[in-house]
Each structure stands twice: as C-alpha cells, then as structure tokens.
Structure 1
Amino acid sequence: MSNLTHDAKDLELMKMAITQANLSQPIESAYCVGAVLVAATGEILSTGFSRELPGNTHAEQCALDKLPDIAMAENSVCYTTMEPCSQRLSGNKPCVERLIEAKVSRVIMGVNEPPNFVDCSGADLLRQAGIEVLVVPGVEQECLKPNIHILNK
C-alpha cells in the first residue's frame, strides 16, 4: 500500500494533472494520463498529457520532454494521475526510467495503473531508486474517468 498525502497543495496540483489527463485523446490501446512537473521551489516547470507530443508519448514523458534542459527536473516533484509505467508495449522507454534518470525527488500519483495492459511495478521501482511515492486519496474516480473506454471493456 502506498503512503497517502493529505497536503492541500498536493491535491491542488493533482487536480491540475487531472485537467491535463482530460485533454488526452482516448484510444483503445493506451490510458489517458496527465502530469505536472513542479520544481522544489514550488514553480510549475511543465505539464503533459498522453499523446500530447508525437510518437505515442506518455504524460510524464511529455512533461519531461518539454523542459528546455532535463537538469531542471532534478529534485522536482512529478504529479501524475496514474502510476508511471514500468513497461511499454510500444518499445519506448518506460516513464519510471525517465523519472529516475531525471532525478526527481518525489512522485505523487492519483491511482495505481490498472492491469488492463501490463502488470505495472512503477511505484515499487521508484521507491527502490530512492524516490518517495505518495498517493492523493479521494481522486481515484477523477483519475480513472478519462479511461472509461478501456476500463469498461
């Protein structure tokens, strides 16, 4: 079980990530996820959503790729509506690896990845790399809503 965060700022930033997730174009083969990357100072560095950038991109990947310099992500916090992927069927680098390489300090997520495509171990891999993983309680339905087209199969 993941540790929970009841911080009002975490909830506010998760709501921003949910707004991003709702911008994702639904497709049958991937989730709609939103992400917000926040500097240790509290400044919003970037946002991203699934398939925002070309190449079957994921939300966390988009947020990182939009940074002018990846070094800006060091010690940042990534808010994501769904557990960062540990495996990609497309052959792209998993978001967990991207976040570890970017040296984020914390990942705050809305829900664990449902098992529809792969058995995700993103949260465990992040913790093993020394990255704190927290869950915002009470946002599960909002985080899953953009994915009804997959979850209701």
Structure 2
Amino acid sequence: MKIMTQQKDQYFMKEAIKEAEKCIPIKTAFCVGAIIVKNGKIESRGFSRELPNNTHAEECALMKLSDIKTAIGAEIYTTMEPCSIRLSGKLPCVDRIIHSGIKRVILGVREPNTFVQCTGISTLKKHGIEVKIIQEMEKECLSIACKNHTEENLYIKKKY
C-alpha cells in the first residue's frame, strides 16, 4: 500500500512539474505548478500567472474546477509549499485550500524565504489537512521554481 501511494504521488507530482514548466519565469515570483486529484483522476491543472491578476498555481487549479465542490476530499499536488501570505493582498493559497475542503496536500519543496516567510505547511496541519513533501523531487521542483533567480540558483548549487 505504501509503495503504491509513493508511486502515485510521484506520478502526480511529475504532472504538476509539467504545469510549472509552462510558467513564464520572472525574477519577482516563483514558477509553480499544481494539479487537483480526486479518486485517482486529475480534475484540474494550473500554473503560476496562467490566469490574469498574478494568480498562483493552486489558485488557478481551484478556479478552473468545473464545480468547486469537486475539491471536497480531493488532493492537491503542488511543486512548492502553498503561500500563507500574499504581498499583493490577495487571499493566500493556504486559505483557499482550507476553504475548498481539500484533505491532502503533496508538495515538492518548501517555499524559500526569498519574498516572504511562509508558514503554509504548519497552517495546513493546524486545520487537519495532511501534508506530504516528496523529498526526492525537491531539487527538480526548486530548480524550476527559481528560473531567473540568481540567489536561489546559488542556493541550489550549495545544497546539492
């Protein structure tokens, strides 16, 4: 059972990575991909800045659901820890996930403290949402997220 879950999580994280790769890199934000999965089926996909108004990947995936009720009990795979604060003043992705009814969040890498101090993981856990980090995909997720970011590229080289 654990092996099947691990393989499933890696498969869907690779799908989220494909979304992140669609993101146009900019120096002031990360390139993130997200997918929403329910009962083993991809219900929605999104990537950073896919939709107007500086949207985040998780926000896009939730907005693109044909019915928001589909999110209840679903899982979201995101290449980076969902934000807990937005410099734009928009609702953080963590709050969107909590309000949507998603039960499990699988992420590729914690958010670096480049722009804000993120508390996404602890906030999700406080609200009873299961959180899993796929450690073996961290380098790939961080590398994609930080395209065009000089400091993060140096961090990647030091860490790996």
TM-score, normalised to structure 1's length?
0.93
1:148 & 1:65 partners in 2: Cα distance?
25
Describe the SS at the equivalent of 1:7.
Answer: helix
1:92 & 1:85 partners in 2: Cα distance?
11
1:88 & 1:70 partners in 2: Cα distance?
22
Q: CA deviation at 1:33?
A: 0.3
Q: CA 1:69/1:6 → structure 2, altered by over 3 Å: closer, same or farther?
A: closer
Quick check: 1:83–1:110 contact (8 Å CA) kept in 2?
Answer: yes
The counterpart of 1:44, out of the listed 38, 42, 47, is 42
Quick check: 2:16–2:35 contact (8 Å CA) kept in 1?
Answer: yes
Per-residue CA deviation, residues 11-69 of structure 1 (Å, 9 max, x unaligned), is 00001101110110111111000001001x11110010000011100000000000122
Give 2:30's aligned amino acid: Y
1:75 corresponds in structure 2 to: 73
Q: Does 1:152 align with 2:150?
A: no
Per-residue CA deviation, residues 65-105 of structure 1 (Å, 9 max, x unaligned), is 00122111000000000000000001111000000000100
1:18 & 1:152 partners in 2: Cα distance?
18
Q: Which runs of 5+ in 2 are unaligned?
A: 155-160
Aligned pairs for 1:1-153 (under 5 A) are 7-39=6-38, 41-146=39-144, 147-150=146-149, 151-152=152-153
Percent identity between matched residues is: 51
Q: CA deviation at 1:6?
A: 6.6
What's the C-alpha RMSD, in Å, of the aligned pairs?
1.4
1:79 & 1:68 partners in 2: Cα distance?
18
Describe the SS at the equivalent of 1:111.
Answer: coil
Q: Structure 1 stretch 16-25 or stretch 137-146: which is displaced more?
A: 137-146
Query: Larger % of helix: which?
Result: 2
Quick check: 1:87–1:94 contact (8 Å CA) kept in 2?
Answer: yes
Q: How many residues align?
A: 148
2:75 & 2:129 partners in 1: Cα distance?
10
Q: Which runs of 5+ in 1 are unaligned?
A: none
Q: CA deviation at 1:152?
A: 3.3
1:148 & 1:52 partners in 2: Cα distance?
16
TM-score, normalised to structure 2's length?
0.89
Q: CA deviation at 1:141?
A: 1.4
